[in-house]
A and B are shown apart, each in its own frame.
Chain A
């Protein structure tokens, strides 16, 4: 159930990830090649970079969880409070306009230099940087994963979260799909609201039990 929750969270917010990081990846895909197979390879590398970032976060979160959430009081109460606060931030994130900047963008300069010698590194690096996007869904995932109280559980949660967000990147090699970016962002935000409400309900439920 824990991992499926990660998957669900990833899926409900993945459209926003795509809308945020797509603009970094798309020009690259367009500039590099228009062959679908080649594009699949590039997207695969981008996603591998993301996976590495997520697994790393999962390990760190798991260690933090083992250190702080062994105590019984913490176990019952803190995850509930974290759920409530973060679900509220997820709701705020959905309701208000934030300018989303994909962290992959900042790696472009370095990537430019690297690209001369090792072109595969560019999408890999972009994926890694985009995986460390500290947006509310990502922070909510951290909170949820830490509640598992062990490293393996936390990593599994993040891998599931990764799987959920990544599904949206699969059609990317067929670039034309991305023309619907605006509606995708809106759908992602609505899904974030529904997910936020679910976590709010869950948080309140945990606190009062």
Chain B
């Protein structure tokens, strides 16, 4: 008996190492962006740390069979390093985190994926893009972001919100600070708020021909860039940004242990939910194995696991494929599933096939930022300045 278990443990170990090997290549390519820079010791050090960081996470996912706890580490690190690198770059380029009218007029604002929700109707109606960014050039150009958003939607659906979004790690992180929620039993219907908000945002942008969410409601302006305060209007906007950040990204996620910003507010999340229907991966529940303990309902940070879903055998369309409910289910009743394949079978193969594209997405968005962020931190601790 003992021999068998030892054999299976070492078998699992070698299998996990073998499955991690392709990720070595992918992480190398995406962290370095195809152009390795080993010109300084800090560059080499940061590359090695980032490379080991990602491959260890991927190996642990395969070896332990747990997804969310390792995904979350990479995802939260992405959000923090993205903010650090973005702010330092802005200060280098413009001297501050704020942008002026001149920056707006010269279309120097980086395009973020959330703007997608506001440009579609104006493109159809007026054939113009209502965002002051560059269409093809610079980092985060409009064309490249749109291609990325469409590609990810087809591949992972709303999985983007747990594996690729460089903002999502904020409330994913804060929702894990307390061990137990202070505010319990939040009505899951709040998840529909983001759909109503998407409706209003898309329409108001079409009517006013301005990206209304960016101008008035984006909580992440607080940790990226914002309009220079020059009058009452810009002062009001800044107050709104900071209050939304504090309430939706920090305080409420801490108190509820739910991803309040992503699960109830973000219009991009609502839009992405529709794409959950048109991609190969989904999360399913085996009703035969489920003992109705409802732990997944309590655990799901996005209000996507609800009673009717349990009886239907799948979560709501808002599911972000984070894997938390899968990790928590003691009956192994929940799993990743590939549409069109028989359910309840090839459980591990479906999960592994999902993990490759999902984890690669994480590396694509986080790799460069984490590596450069480490260089910045080394610089800060050795010289006292990020510049």
Chain A interface residues (CB < 8 Å from chain B): 1, 4-5, 7-8, 11-12, 183, 186-191, 193-195
Contacts and interface: CB of A to CB of B under 8 A. Distances in A.
A182 to B, nearest CB: 9
Contacts of B4: none
A110 to B, nearest CB: 35
Nearest to A180: B317
Given A186-B189, A187-B192, A12 B207 contact: no
Given A187-B192, A190-B196, 17 more contacts: A1-B207, A4-B207, A8-B200, A8-B203, A8-B207, A11-B199, A12-B196, A12-B199, A186-B192, A187-B196, A188-B196, A189-B196, A190-B192, A190-B197, A191-B196, A191-B199, A194-B197
Interface in B155-195: 189, 192-193, 195
A44 to B, nearest CB: 23
Contacts of B197: 190, 194
**B-side interface size class:** 10 to 19
Contacts of A7: 203, 207
Interface of B: 189, 192-193, 195-197, 199-200, 203-204, 207
B217 to A, nearest CB: 10
A188 B196 CA distance: 7
A5 B189 CA distance: 27
Residue of B192, B204, B207 with most chain A CB atoms under a 10 A cut-off: B192
Contacts of A1: 207
Given A4-B207, A7-B207, A8-B207, A194 B200 contact: yes
Nearest to A10: B203
A190 B200 CA distance: 10
Contact of A190 (B193, B204, B207): B193
B203 A194 contact: no
Contact of A195 (B189, B195, B200): B200
Nearest to B202: A11
Contacts of B199: 11-12, 187, 191
Nearest to A8: B203
Contacts of B196: 12, 187-191, 193-194
A192 B193 CA distance: 11
Given A7-B207, A8-B207, A191 B189 contact: no
27 contacts: A1-B207, A4-B207, A5-B207, A8-B200, A8-B203, A8-B204, A8-B207, A11-B199, A12-B196, A12-B199, A12-B200, A183-B192, A186-B189, A186-B192, A187-B192, A187-B195, A187-B196, A187-B199, A188-B196, A190-B192, A190-B193, A190-B195, A190-B197, A191-B199, A191-B200, A194-B196, A194-B197
Contacts of A5: 207
Nearest to B193: A190
A137 B197 CA distance: 18
Residue of A183, A190, A193 with most chain B CB atoms under a 10 A cut-off: A190
B128 to A, nearest CB: 17
A5 B204 CA distance: 9
Contacts of B195: 187, 190
Contacts of B189: 186
Contacts of A12: 196, 199-200, 203
A74 B57 CA distance: 67
Contacts of B193: 190
A191 B270 CA distance: 14
Contacts of B207: 1, 4-5, 7-8
Contacts of A11: 199, 203
Contacts of A189: 196
Nearest to B206: A4
B359 to A, nearest CB: 32
Nearest to B200: A194
A12 B197 CA distance: 10
Question: Which 6 pairs, one residue from A and one from B, show the smallest C-beta to C-beta distance?
Answer: A190-B196, A191-B196, A4-B207, A186-B192, A187-B195, A190-B193
